[in-house]
Chain A
């Protein structure tokens, strides 16, 4: 396979252009989107600083794609203020579009163009495109450059989508579930590619269902559920301190036990002492991953929404996140109750 260095794109000289007073490339304030009676986005606010990568997380139907499509100029908003690259995406211009890169959710390609033809054609639409051969190498499709896109595998078509999203050297890149259909190796290569874009200063808004991907690429996360922002902050701070308290698991008389404690080693020492100095069965100390924290968060929100009576969207959210919640760790805690 290809060495990681080959996926790095050569850096583009960055030009800090005028007419660009705000340091926030994206600014969203109290965004609402309603379809008839259904509220898809219900008062979301966040911003993305220049060069930053923000991950927008949330269960299916939470309003992620609606939000991102409003920012891309595809949908009109019902209410709220939105600024993208200093402009209102409700009135997109060609010059504004030239500065965006959009990787939509995968749609299934029927294109008869080859990979190189497609990238060359799209490169021609932008004022300052990337070198097509370099880009083909960066997404690992050298061997498929002359293959028609409809004859590629799903994961390979997705790489073409990503290449089309970055061919115009965007200032702001939207990645909507970009690695769907990638094998683990392709995903790591993709991460490497995104890091090289970050090194160039590209601002990125990422949605993904892979929490490890968000942790790898983003510095901050915004979690939406039921159309609302339920958590927003640095990736190593979301969920609050309590959600990060380690879990100690062990076996006792054939039964699994769990305790959440900020002093796991001390707890293990106590277990050893209580066991007459003998090793307890199958001890583990686990620090909750971003995924654990996220699932707990979404489960809690769904439960709260379901509890709020006469709120159909809350009931929807509860149904949508039920399978996720089932895999969430069920723990007792020494620190009392669920994290606040």
Chain B
């Protein structure tokens, strides 16, 4: 207002410079600015808050209540495992998939069709800053989501959490690695829907099928071998397995294929899919469909 009332009083402007500065530093700085912008807009979208952010907590609550009378085995000390404890790792893995892959694939497809990407393409925003913003958004929202899931499990359902550094360390790297892979795959998959309208219809079934065959909703050990083999190609199975390693009693490794947690396999599978996502993104990502 004051500037408007006094049009001549605005401070002198520095001479125009066409050197944008160190490209890497600038890309990172603008990427941070994008992250703030993206996180804010994520939480202002009612549907993204419900279907990606709160969904795993909601499912955890439903499973805890619905299966409260079922047996999920017992830990080394002979205490029965609650449904919440059994489903906690699965919901953490689902959260990573929803916050990264589902969220970004639909979000970017929508931005491509509503003109947001076209507008950004006309500005001096580096593509890398755009990606840093998107992946930063996934890290921030994914972290808050995981914290919420753990809090609800621990406080509302009294799930005992690991007490040793080793399991927390495993959770940390599996979570961070999983978020990165899931986010990159989301960027890569955003090229698939032909329009923003169809994005949810294209992406959600993929995510849903993956969850059903990867041991998120249905116990992985109860699936037929051939389906387990199919699921083992995809990253979610490994992510869920890593989360089970972090949060289930060690004795539960007998339920895994080969009666082992295969933590090394988790790292390898996530790394391969991260590279696949990066390559697909590099090849397919365009600000706009040039002749569309």
A interacts with B: yes
Q: A residues engaging B (CB < 8 A)?
A: 5-6, 8-10, 12-13, 15, 17, 35, 72-76, 94-95, 97-100, 102, 104, 107-113, 117, 121-122, 124-128, 131, 133-134, 136-138, 142, 148, 164, 168-169
Assuming the A-B contacts A104-B122, A107-B115, A121-B33, are A112 and B18 also in contact, with contact meaning beta carbons closer than 8 angstroms in the complex?
no
A126's partner among B8, B40, B115, B124 (CB-CB below 8 A) is B124
Bound CA span A74–B117, Å: 11
Residue in B45, B110, B119 with the greatest tally of chain A CB atoms within 10 Å: B119
Q: Is B249 an interface residue (CB 8 A)?
A: no
Chain A nearest CB, measured from B209 CB (Å): 28
- Can you offer 24 A-B residue contacts whose CB atoms are under 8 A? A9-B7, A10-B10, A15-B16, A17-B16, A74-B288, A76-B291, A97-B124, A98-B124, A102-B122, A107-B115, A109-B114, A112-B41, A113-B40, A117-B37, A124-B33, A125-B30, A125-B124, A126-B123, A128-B14, A133-B3, A134-B3, A134-B7, A134-B10, A138-B4
Sorted nearest first, the 7 A-B pairs with minimum C-beta distance are A137-B4, A107-B115, A112-B44, A102-B122, A98-B124, A134-B3, A94-B124
For B122, list chain A residues within 8 Å (CB). 72-74, 97, 100, 102, 104
Bound CA span A76–B292, Å: 12
Given A35-B291, A109-B114, A124-B30, 12 more A-B residue pairs with CB atoms under 8 Å apart are A13-B12, A13-B16, A72-B122, A104-B122, A108-B114, A113-B37, A125-B30, A126-B124, A127-B16, A127-B18, A131-B3, A136-B4
Main secondary structure of the interface of B (DSSP, over half): loop
Do residues A6 and B13 form an inter-chain contact, with CB atoms below 8 A? no
For A169, list chain B residues within 8 Å (CB). 13, 16
A74's partner among B14, B19, B290 (CB-CB below 8 A) is B290
For A75, list chain B residues within 8 Å (CB). 290-291
A112's partner among B8, B45, B121 (CB-CB below 8 A) is B45
Chain A nearest CB, measured from B112 CB (Å): 12
Quick one: closest A residue to B33, CB to CB? A124
For B126, list chain A residues within 8 Å (CB). 94
Q: Could you count the A-B residue pairs with CB atoms below 8 Å apart for me: how many are there? A: 119
Do residues B3 and A137 form an inter-chain contact, with CB atoms below 8 A? yes
For A142, list chain B residues within 8 Å (CB). 1, 4
Q: Is B125 an interface residue (CB 8 A)?
A: yes
Residue in B20, B122, B126 with the greatest tally of chain A CB atoms within 10 Å: B122
Bound CA span A12–B20, Å: 19
For A74, list chain B residues within 8 Å (CB). 118, 121-122, 288, 290
Do residues B1 and A121 form an inter-chain contact, with CB atoms below 8 A? no
Q: Is B17 an interface residue (CB 8 A)?
A: yes
Q: Is B283 an interface residue (CB 8 A)?
A: no
Bound CA span A17–B45, Å: 44
Q: Is B166 an interface residue (CB 8 A)?
A: no
Q: Is B224 an interface residue (CB 8 A)?
A: no
Bound CA span A137–B4, Å: 6
Do residues A111 and B41 form an inter-chain contact, with CB atoms below 8 A? yes
Do residues B20 and A127 form an inter-chain contact, with CB atoms below 8 A? yes
Assuming the A-B contacts A6-B5, A10-B8, are A104 and B115 also in contact, with contact meaning beta carbons closer than 8 angstroms in the complex?
yes
Bound CA span A97–B41, Å: 25
Do residues B17 and A128 form an inter-chain contact, with CB atoms below 8 A? yes
Residue in B13, B15, B21, B123 with the greatest tally of chain A CB atoms within 10 Å: B123
Do residues B18 and A17 form an inter-chain contact, with CB atoms below 8 A? yes
For A12, list chain B residues within 8 Å (CB). 13, 16
Bound CA span A128–B124, Å: 12
Residue in B7, B40, B116 with the greatest tally of chain A CB atoms within 10 Å: B7
For B123, list chain A residues within 8 Å (CB). 97, 122, 125-126, 168
Do residues B115 and A127 form an inter-chain contact, with CB atoms below 8 A? no
